């Protein structure tokens, strides 16, 4: 088993949602429960940007050069400096439920999942925010909505509802972005951890963070296990994303949620490993 390198000291209580910002050659991630976006540039400099509430995801916004940010219940537009925010879609979830991880589809819509704070079974959903701000529900009855990626042709979505212990594949209508035909693609077996965030490479391989498993697994396009990457010192591995100008560095976020002060002192750090295959470029919001 290969091992990822720890790049930073702990920089997040619950690090999630890594996104490679190619325009400024930096990695963005969310410190979800602390309500902050954290950036790390190529020199290793760390900056924190406060968000109006708990924060679930951040992606580039094509129309303005700024960003789209999912907070506890809303989807907001942010300026290029991540200092000013305005609503795109509000009130996506009710009390006791929060947004949790998302990304964009090839049509430029932003998809964001949710979960109940107590992880109540079927307490969440997956919603799609179109570039014009229209909101539709893609999936209902979700428990902990996590990883989401799309094939390079845009016809297939790969999706994780963590308690199912699998990565699903779904057919995507190329004209409307509607989902159909959800079925199992990879069963996550032989690990104490469950599937969390997803990355996809240019060959269609999937890379999945194992929350509670201290590792990232790489599966080929057919769903066969290729390799497992250890994340030393952090069992709660939350998500991964390809970055750097050649998209051949896999960045890995970790969490220390629920850990005591003396447990896993490296948890909450950012890790990385160089890969033989490049990642697919991250998709922006078209609005």
Number of structural domains (the chain) is 1
The reported pLDDT for the residue numbered 63 is: 75
Burial grade of 287 (CB within 10 A; 0-12, 13-18, 19 or more): buried
β-pair partners for 187: 166
pLDDT-derived band at 1 (thresholds 50, 70, 90) equals confident
pLDDT-derived band at 13 (thresholds 50, 70, 90) equals very high
Structural domain contains residue 232: yes
Mean pLDDT of 194-199: 98
Radius of gyration for the alpha carbons in the chain, expressed in angstroms and rounded: 17
| Two tokens, residue 40 | 């790390």
The reported pLDDT for the residue numbered 180 is: 97
Structural domain contains residue 282: no
Domain of residue 247, CATH code: 2.120.10.30
Residue 64 has pLDDT above 80, yes or no: no
Percent of the chain with pLDDT over 90: 98
Residues 68-84 have pLDDT tens digits of: 999 999 999 999 999 99
Structural domain contains residue 285: no
pLDDT-derived band at 197 (thresholds 50, 70, 90) equals very high
Structural domain contains residue 181: yes
Contact 205, 219 (CB under 8 A): yes
- Which position has the token pair 């949790």? 100
Q: What is the pTM of this model?
A: 0.97
pLDDT-derived band at 65 (thresholds 50, 70, 90) equals confident
Mean pLDDT (the chain) is: 97
Contacts for 45-49: CB closer than 8 Å, 24+ residues apart: 46/8, 46/11, 49/81, 49/82, 49/83
Residues belonging to the active site? 196
Contact 264, 5 (CB under 8 A): no
Rounded distance, CA 155 to CA 268, Å?
A: 35
Handedness of CA 237, 104, 277, 80 (dihedral sign): negative
Distances (CA, A) of 15 to 20, 95, 271: 15, 23, 11
Structural domain contains residue 280: no
Rounded distance, CA 234 to CA 236, Å?
A: 6
Residues 131-167 have pLDDT tens digits of: 999 999 999 999 999 999 999 999 999 999 999 999 9
Structural domain contains residue 141: yes
Q: What residue numbers bound the domain in which 89 lies?
A: 2-274
- Which position has the token pair 């922006």? 284
The reported pLDDT for the residue numbered 258 is: 95
β-pair partners for 49: 37
Distances (CA, A) of 212 to 178, 231, 258: 32, 11, 12
Structural domain contains residue 234: yes
pLDDT-derived band at 54 (thresholds 50, 70, 90) equals very high
Residues 84-128 have pLDDT tens digits of: 999 999 999 999 999 999 999 999 999 999 999 999 999 999 999
Of 103, 78, 76, nearest to 90 (Cα)?
76
Rounded distance, CA 255 to CA 122, Å?
A: 24
Structural domain contains residue 123: yes
């Amino acid at each position: 088993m290969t091992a990822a390198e720890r790049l930073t000291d702990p920089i997040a209580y619950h690090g999630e949602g890594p996104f490679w910002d190619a325009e400024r050659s930096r990695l963005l991630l969310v410190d979800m429960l602390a309500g902050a976006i954290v950036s790390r540039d190529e020199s290793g400099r760390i900056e924190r940007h406060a968000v109006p509430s708990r924060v679930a995801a951040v992606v580039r916004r094509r129309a303005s050069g700024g960003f789209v940010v999912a907070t506890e219940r809303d989807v907001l537009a942010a300026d290029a400096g991540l200092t000013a925010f305005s609503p795109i879609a509000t009130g996506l979830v009710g009390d006791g439920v929060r947004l949790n991880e998302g990304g964009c589809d090839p049509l430029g819509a932003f998809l964001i999942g949710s979960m109940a704070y107590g992880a109540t079974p079927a307490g969440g959903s997956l919603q799609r925010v179109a570039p014009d701000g229209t909101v539709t529900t893609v999936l209902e009855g979700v428990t902990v909505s996590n990883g989401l990626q799309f094939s390079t042709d845009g016809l297939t979505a790969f999706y994780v509802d963590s308690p199912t212990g699998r990565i699903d594949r779904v057919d995507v209508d190329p004209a409307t972005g509607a989902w159909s035909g959800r079925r199992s693609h990879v069963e996550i077996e032989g690990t104490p951890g469950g599937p969390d965030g997803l990355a996809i490479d240019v060959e269609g391989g999937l890379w999945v963070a194992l929350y509670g498993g201290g590792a990232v697994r790489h599966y080929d396009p057919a769903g066969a296990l290729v390799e497992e990457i250890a994340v030393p010192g952090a069992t709660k591995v939350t998500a991964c994303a390809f970055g750097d100008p050649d998209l051949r560095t896999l960045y890995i976020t970790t969490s220390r949620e629920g850990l005591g002060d003396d447990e896993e002192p490296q948890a909450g750090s950012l890790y990385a490993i160089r890969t033989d295959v490049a990642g697919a470029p991250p998709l922006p919001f078209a609005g």
